[in-house]
Amino acid sequence: MERHVVALGGGGFTTDDDPRLDDFVLGLTGRDRPRVCFLATAQGDSPSYVVDFYDAFRERAETAHLTLFGRPRRDIRDFLLAQEVVYVGGGNTANMLAIWRVHGVDQVLREAWERGIVLAGMSAGSICWFEWGVTDSFGDELASLRCLGFLSGSNCPHYDSGPERRPTYRRLVESGELPAGLAADDGVGLHFAGTELAEAVTARPDAGAYRVERGENGAVERPITVRRLG
């Protein structure tokens, strides 16, 4: 099965009225109304976050969500493997990964990916698929975080929306604390087919994506071509 990950630097249904980025994710299934499950773990299964998901997707998909706080369902594996898209919301990535590991969700997500279920998400739902990411999970200061490792290298979302994102990511790559990786502005989706970047897409003008690597004189940032949706 073809494996797909779409890592969104930001945007998607939570912050953007333009549906084209989320439509791109759904379109990877080849289905008119794919089955989509939302994981709001990074925001503590916030009810308002879940409602926003249903409001955004119920007209174009068969929607469901998985809660892990309180008393989780016992058939997590069967439930997730019955989906065609698993969409992960933003929030506290470190807490999300810890909770996933307690309930075995991390292992199920790898199995889902290997079966061809599309994995997508913004912010926490972007960096979680990589080996490493940049996160504010531990407070105001951005820090490195080891993630699931489905995709090699590191990832930095929100590259254009916070004054500290770009310099911090470059510093962490330059120092070797993070391996080379990909950065994405808000509204940019990094689409991986298998483990290789297939393309970067956006519905926003001037939004960018970048490869950031360690060079002889510091971090080197190279723009990636971004295809405008629509």
Residues in the chain: 230
Token pair of 170, please?
């470059």
Cβ neighbour number for residue 195 with a 10 Å cutoff: 10
Q: Which of 4, 123, 126, 154 is catalytic?
A: 123
What 3-state DSSP class applies to 226?
A: strand
What is the Cα–Cα distance from 100 to 119, expressed in whole angstroms? 15
Which residue in 106, 208, 212 sits closest to 154, CA to CA?
Answer: 212
Sign of CA pseudo-dihedral 8, 9, 10, 16: negative
Q: Is 4 a catalytic residue?
A: no
Catalytic site residue from 137, 154, 158, 191:
158
Question: Is 152 one of the catalytic residues?
Answer: no
Of the candidates 109, 141, 104, 103, the residue with the CA atom closest to the CA atom of residue 128: 109
Q: Residue 47 belongs to what H/E stretch? A: helix 47-57
Catalytic residue numbers, as ranges: 123, 158
